[in-house]
Amino acid sequence: MSAPDRPAPDAAAPDSAAPDHRRWLQLTLDLAREAQQAGSAPVGAVLVDASGHEVARGRNRVGEAQTPEHVGKASVAHAEMDLYFSVGKLENPQSLTLYTSLEPCLMCGGASALLGVGRVVWVTDDPWGGSGRLIAWADHPAMQDTEVLPTPDPDLERQGALLFAPEARRAFPDEGWALWRKRYPTETADL
């Protein structure tokens, strides 16, 4: 289900359909489950180059201690920031695709655009915390180079919604949870 203001996956450029989105989106869900098992929020991210090779991976670490290798503890220790801090300076960022299990927040979406990452693809919408609707990706001059491809795989989208829904309910009470229930009624029905 796509909101009218978002481009449908079919409307993406021809080369957008070619990459193996499912493989990478599946990996972000695996990383999200790893984060959950470690006591953090279930979100994962992978950065992939134009040849289809993994450049870096990250996962949410908000529930874990800070280490020399990873951001942690702070509530901004999101999967994408974990990834970006670990990878250092990006080579040819416009050729890279960031895959995430959840629509990036304003911080992580903004970081992706600031770094000039060519494309951001996510498994599941975050109707409360996601930045896809907060950032006017196509209008802001600093963000024109980042293509956004939401939820290209309905089966994985549902898996991602089921995985994150309990965290959404905990972290986004009231209005945020209401938006989640509206966006994913089936996946939130038993919570």
Residues that bind Zn ion (CB under 5 A): 78, 105, 107-108
Cβ of residue 83: shortest distance to Zn ion, in angstroms?
A: 11
Task: Report the nearest approach of Zn ion to the CB of residue 98 (Å).
Answer: 11
String of DSSP letters for 20-88: -HHHHHHHHHHHHHHHHHTTS-S-EEEEE-TTS-EEEEEE--TTS---SSS--SSTT--HHHHHHHHH-
Closest CB to Zn ion among residues 55, 107? 107
Is residue 179 classed as helix, strand or coil in its secondary structure? helix
Nearer to Zn ion, 12 or 70 (CB): 70
Q: Is residue 175 annotated as part of the catalytic site, yes or no?
A: no
Q: Which of 179, 153, 177 is nearest to 29 (CA)?
A: 153
Checking 181-185 for CB contacts under 8 A at 24+ apart, the result is 182/127, 183/125, 183/127, 184/124, 184/125
Residue among 64, 69, 80, 175 flagged as catalytic: 80
Minimum CB distance to Zn ion smaller for 78 or for 119: 78
* Shortest Å, Cβ 4 to Zn ion: 25
Which 3 state secondary structure label does DSSP give 99? strand
CA distance 47 to 93: 10
DSSP-assigned letter for residue 90: P
Judged by CB, which is closer to Zn ion: 90, or 107?
A: 107
Active-site positions? 80
